[in-house]
Chain A
Amino acid sequence: MKVGRRPAVLLAVVLAVALSLVGSRSAPAAHASTKAAKLTIWVDNVQKPAVDKITSSWGTRRGVDVNVVFHSFGTIRDDLKTVKAENAPDVIVAAHDWTGDLAANGLVLSLFPTKALKKQFPKYALDAFSYGGRLYGAPYALENVGLVVNTRLVKVPKTFAQFEKEALAFKRKSPDNIALAVPQGSGGDAYHMYPFFSGLGGFVFGHAKNGALQPNKLGLASKTFLNNASLIDKWNREGLINSKIDYGTAKNAWLKQQAAFWITGPWEVDALKASGNPFRIIQLPKIKYQSVPFLGVQGAMVTKFAQAHGVESLAKDLVASEMMKAGFQLDLEQANLRYPANKLAGKRVNDPILRQFGAAGAGGVPMPNIPQMGSVWAELGGAWVKATKGTGATSARVAFTTAAKNILDKIAGG
């Protein structure tokens, strides 16, 4: 005890333990630095198995250690901005609407796939991952909403008038029934409402000559759209669209057969199958114009960190060549139940539900991928909420004109 109380002896003991702790931790780390090239990929859990599969065979072929890291999809974009270079990924899976944000921040590298490979993709899928005329991502999956029709309750409508008639007739059958299960809620949902928006001639941003989106060319209060906007007031009066229906209410109503029509996407495939309801998925019939949905495109991007890590060519080889090929895209289709972006792969999709969702997306518009879109969501959704909240609703013309003005203010002044 006497010895133990002498500071010098104690210090020696403490330092010895500390050094042994540090030593045991750093020994394997020193080993790792001498190893072959290592490529890190951030992937969400749904797509991880498919990415694991393709990258392990590719990695062996190229002599690379591929490190596929699970990262929750919703946080990939923001974590890429703050991650330390040592831990940063070389490749990420991404939603196309992150493109503008990530490119404007200088976090991703532009890609140049071969012409032959680009031809295998629809133009909009490549546009979706382009910003300022440059391609930043390899698209691999498409998703969009469709009109899910319960074929036991109603006939599959061919025209919008038919749809309106069927929906309202069904609603009148019972006070619990809903004409159309399209989610909004108090926060609004511009994404699910887009088919109605585009069907009336609305669009969000106009294009410049090189295809780049122009944040100041807003289509929310375009003449065409405002001229048709009185239809929204009519739908509100007759109860076709009700903004008080939120996501849960919409889903429940369709599953419990209290709604014959539901606007939803392939993420609900399991619920659709489990419901036991017979159904078909179609594009919302043409209103004044083709009622196309927003398209979400998923893909992969090469980050700026690949350069510093010395794997830039490897990352580009993986993303802009390997992952764009039909084989990989089909593997992913099996894993995440989304329609492949590669057209050759699309032709080989067997799943009938996926094919129907694919067809419902025909002619769709990719969600704008410029950072200014952040100013649009709440306003566009809010305009729909105000215009379709039943009694006391704002006229659609006023609601959308106000929204357009607010968005321009926000983009300019934020």
Chain B
Amino acid sequence: MSAGTRALSLPTRLISAFSGTVGLVIKIVLLSLVNAFAIWAAVVLSDHHKWRALGLLAFVTAAIDAIYLTRRWTLPLKFLIPGTIFLLAFQVIPVAYTINVAFTNYSTGHILSRSEAIANIEQNSLTEAGNGASYAMTLMRSDKHQLVLALLDNSGHAFIGTPDGLRPIPRDQVTIAGGTIASAQGYTPLKGTELGSIDTELSSYKVPVGGGKAIEPQGFDSAVVLEPTYRFDARKDAFVRVKDGVLFKDNGRGSFVAANGAEIEPGWKTYVGMRNFGRIIHSPLIRSPFLKVFLWTMVFATSVVFLSFALGLLLAITLNKPGLSFQRTYRALLIIPYAVPAFLALLVWQGLLNDDFGVVNRAFHTSIPWLFDPNWARVSVILVSVWLTVPYFFLVSLGALQSIPSELIEAAEVDGGGAWQVFRKITLPLLLVAVAPLMIASFAFNFNNFNNIYLLTGGGPALNNSPVAGATDILISYTYKIAFAAGKGQDYGLASAIAILIFITVGTISAISFSRTKALENLA
């Protein structure tokens, strides 16, 4: 009973510990760190003119200071605040972000903002005009300190290029060395380290040569004649293809698209409403294997949890027997699968199970297609996952078994209960009170156990009649394949939409299961 009183007094003891001098110092250090972080964040936020966020930051920081610096009446808050902050930072914000992304077209080709995309199209649509004329370039300054380009074309003609245009310059006014103009009368060449400081001026430098074409410097030694393929028409809010005047209009989904469906890359990130959810329902690629994958996911997660629990419990009961020799050694050995990094264990298993060259088939002189036959591959992923999960349930069951008062069992035995009866009527129900929530958690974990599937079979082997999902693909690995290995590369919007559906599924199953476990507690 002394344990109970100690546990009860813990908050009180904590408070008294933090009221002393040591506590005061710790408090000052921690609060100073919080305030230092806030001041730094305030500087950054004001740099970016985020005034609302700045206001919120000031309010929160002031509130934290007030709560921890004033006396007793804020006591409950002192305990609540850290938990709330971590909840917001690690749960609420990522979930909110995922939900937000699910309603956007965030994907390959749609990661810039609209204005960035327009600027990028204007720049990257430049092509070398005609035969791709290029000039050897020397950067110079005029007497009036204006930046000019001294250009030498392939046939040895010299020019001076300025933002006003191109002007030929007589050969006797220039000296040419090493294929470039070394000096020109009336101009001073820029040399060495000076070049590093004129970048901003140079990168937007254009020497117009008529017909929308311009000579543009490339680096510091050469310049090429470039012409745009697309021109942005701000009035129509659309791009015009210079060659034939075809209009590329904003399609409302983050792209400029022509009437014939041709699309200019890049597009931009924008909200697309329920479109990603619509794709899940309408695309045959996603819809047709969905049910099959969902069922297999349920089978996988359920069987891993129940088999692991059964096996873990069996081992726990065996090793819980008092007086067993080498008890500690056995226990230590059993925990090994838990201690080895899972991804390593999975890769090792992949080698062990190799159909022709794996140790398993060689040792037993069998030729079971562990990884290449759909059904055997399903067996393999379940077996390996069970191997990885058993130690967990072994530990949990061992702990729970030891916490069951031996009086209860002895009383049952005195009343004439057999071993099986005692186990079924007394031990198991009491055990389940503690273990059932963990089984639900383990189910949720295995429902989304991407690592096991991806590292062991990669979702394979492929099924003949299904384009995306392989035999062992569970929902999350299947999502990965749809969102990151199909279409045009990565599709975060679609992935987030499916993630939300998975979240709802797992959440519902867990909620139902938890409400069932309440009944267990009443029973106990």
Contacts and interface: CB of A to CB of B under 8 A. Distances in A.
Given A11-B65, A103-B265, A413-B286, A248 B351 contact: yes
A303 to B, nearest CB: 11
Contact of A112 (B70, B71, B109, B218): B218
Contact of A18 (B35, B377, B467): B35
B354 A111 contact: no
Contacts of B199: 37, 310-314
How large, as a class, is the contact surface on chain B? 35 or more
Interface stretch (B127-135, B167-175, B235-243, B333-341): B127-135
B35 A15 contact: yes
B400 interface: no
Interface string B2-45: 00000000000000000001001000110111111011100100
B180 to A, nearest CB: 11
B81 interface: no
A414 B126 contact: no
Given A62-B196, A186-B460, A374-B485, A106 B218 contact: no
Interface stretch (A155-163, A220-228, A404-412): A404-412
A115 interface: yes
A106 B265 contact: yes
B487 A14 contact: no
Interface string B89-123: 00000000000000000001101100011001101
B108 to A, nearest CB: 5
Contact of B128 (A13, A112, A243): A112
A372 interface: yes
Contact of B461 (A10, A186, A316, A410): A186
Interface in B191-233: 192-200, 202-203, 217-222, 224, 226
A123 interface: no
B488 A378 contact: no
Contacts of B65: 11, 14
Contact of B69 (A11, A317, A413): A11
A1 interface: yes
A378 B220 CA distance: 44
B266 interface: yes
B457 interface: yes
B307 to A, nearest CB: 23
A287 B395 CA distance: 59
A411 B489 contact: no
A21 B218 contact: no
B435 interface: no
Nearest to A375: B486
Interface in B486-505: 486-489, 491, 494
Contacts of A134: 124, 127
B462 interface: yes
A304 B120 contact: yes
A218 B63 CA distance: 63
B39 A375 contact: no
A22 B36 CA distance: 6
B266 A106 contact: yes
B39 A18 contact: yes
A10 B31 CA distance: 10
A14 B32 contact: yes
B496 to A, nearest CB: 15
Contact of A378 (B24, B283, B285, B481): B481
Nearest to A249: B357
Interface in B327-375: 350-351, 354-357, 369, 371-373
B284 interface: yes
Interface stretch (A48-56, A192-200, A381-389): A381-389
B266 A413 contact: no
B298 interface: no
A21 B36 contact: yes
A187 interface: yes
Contacts of B124: 103, 106, 109-110, 134
A64 interface: yes
A317 B220 contact: yes
A4 B489 contact: no
B458 A187 contact: yes
Contacts of B32: 13-15, 17-18, 21
B430 interface: no
A114 B120 contact: no
Contacts of B316: none
B482 interface: yes
Contact of A246 (B126, B284, B354, B377): B354
Interface in B461-482: 461-462, 464, 467-468, 481-482
B484 interface: yes
Interface string A297-327: 0000000100100111110111011000000
A63 B348 CA distance: 52
Contact of A389 (B196, B222, B372, B468): B372
A104 B69 CA distance: 54
A345 B124 CA distance: 30
A313 B485 contact: no
A207 B34 CA distance: 58
Interface in A99-141: 101, 103-107, 109-115, 132-134
A265 interface: no
Contacts of A60: 193
A375 B218 contact: no
B492 to A, nearest CB: 10
A22 B109 contact: no
Given A14-B65, A37-B199, A115 B134 contact: yes
Given A104-B489, A314-B199, A406-B467, 16 more contacts: A7-B70, A15-B32, A17-B32, A21-B36, A62-B193, A63-B194, A103-B266, A113-B218, A186-B377, A249-B354, A310-B200, A313-B198, A314-B195, A320-B218, A382-B461, A413-B286
Interface of A: 1, 4, 7, 10-11, 13-15, 17-19, 21-22, 25-26, 36-37, 60-64, 81, 101, 103-107, 109-115, 132-134, 185-188, 242-246, 248-249, 304, 307, 310-314, 316-318, 320-321, 371-372, 374-375, 377-379, 382, 385-386, 389-390, 392, 394, 398, 402, 405-406, 409-411, 413-414
10 contacts: A11-B65, A106-B112, A112-B226, A134-B127, A313-B203, A320-B218, A371-B109, A372-B489, A390-B356, A414-B491
Q: 9 tightest CB-CB pairs across the interface, nearest first?
A: A414-B487, A63-B193, A317-B219, A63-B196, A414-B486, A106-B266, A18-B35, A17-B32, A406-B467
